[in-house]
Structures are given as C-alpha cells and as structure tokens.
Amino acid sequence: MRNDVELMLGLRKGVSFGNMPAHHGVDLKNANPARVARKAAAEANPKEWTPPVLSAVATKQEGVTEIVAALDRHFAYLEQSGTLHARRRDRTRERVIDVVEQKVSTRLWKDSGTMAWLEEQLASVEEGRATPFAVADQLLRQSAELVRGEKGT
C-alpha cells in the first residue's frame, strides 16, 4: 500500500519513468518503481513540497513522532515559500466577498422600493419585452446610483 501511495504521488508530479529500464530483463522484485517515481518528482521541482509517505500505528505509538515532524516541516515550508500567506489572503478575500454578497442581497431584497420596482418589471419579462438579465443589470445600475447619491450627501 505504501508503495502504491508513493507511486501515485510521483506520477501526480508528472514525472515519468525515464530512468527506469524496460521490464524485459529487469528483476522487478529489486526495482521499486514507486520510489523511483517519487525521487524523480522531488528532484524535478525541489522548490515544491513533496509530501512524505509515512506509516504509523497510533494505538502502538509507532510513527507519531515522524508525522508530527513532517507536519512541522510542511508548516515551515508553507511559511518560507509564501504559500501560507497566499492561502490566508485568498481565504480572507473569499470571506469579504461572502459578507459583501450577503449584505448586498439583504439590502436589496429587504428594500420595499426595490421590491416594488421589481414587481413593475415582471410583466415586461413575462411578455418577452425584457430579459431577467436586462432587469438585473438595470436594478444593479439603479442601486449603484443610489449608493453614489448617498456618498455625495
């Protein structure tokens, strides 16, 4: 199973078995294609994190120290490479976008003037004189004008 994971991770990096001879005449019991693929993947892009394949049995307290050490190395890599900061920045951006979408949605749909205007537009959509997209664009333009007007006062 461990070799299968190593092989999968090595292949995931896009590294082929360029250094592996063909199977004819090779003692496959002594060749470890998983280890070869994994090593080639690590050497192909040394700046990229290559997760270690570790085995552990928590109930026997085997391998736990190695897993904790690997987690510490990974955290250090994330910090040094700037990946940690970038991921945190992405999550912060996504959170702000979610909050804005929620606030805009609440502001629009709880406003009685907006809802009255929308009701007036429904007939033109039903009759094919307007599309839902055109009505939505118009609603957003009006909303933006209202916001700009509030800033000016």
Indicate if the pLDDT at residue 115 is higher than 80: yes
Tell me, yes or no, whether 137 lies in a domain: yes
- Contacts (Cβ under 8 Å, ≥6 apart) of 78: 49, 84, 87
Question: Do residues 36 and 17 make contact, with C-beta atoms less than 8 angstroms apart?
Answer: yes
On whether residue 44 sits in a domain, the answer given is yes
Asked if pLDDT for residue 44 goes beyond 80, the answer is no
Residue 127: pLDDT band with limits 50, 70, 90? very high
In a domain, 127, yes or no: yes
What ranges make up the beta strands (E) of the chain?
Answer: none
Name the pLDDT band for 51 (thresholds 50, 70, 90): confident
Give the confidence band of 75 by pLDDT, cuts at 50, 70, 90: very high
Cβ(124)–Cβ(130) below 8 Å:
yes
Has residue 85 got a pLDDT over 60? Answer: yes
Mean pLDDT of 58-63: 92
For residue 23, tell me if it sits in a domain. Answer: yes
Flag whether pLDDT at 101 surpasses 80.
yes
Give dist(CA 38, CA 49) in Å, integer: 12
In terms of C-beta density within 10 A (0-12 exposed, 13-18 middle, 19 or more buried), how is residue 37 classed? buried
Q: Kindly report which listed range (32-41, 112-121, 124-133) carries the lowest average pLDDT score.
A: 32-41
Residue 62, beta-bridge partner list: 57
- Tell me if 34 is assigned to some domain: yes
Domain limits at 147? Answer: 92-152
CA 88 to CA 85: how far, in whole Å? 5
If one counts the domains in the chain, the total is 2
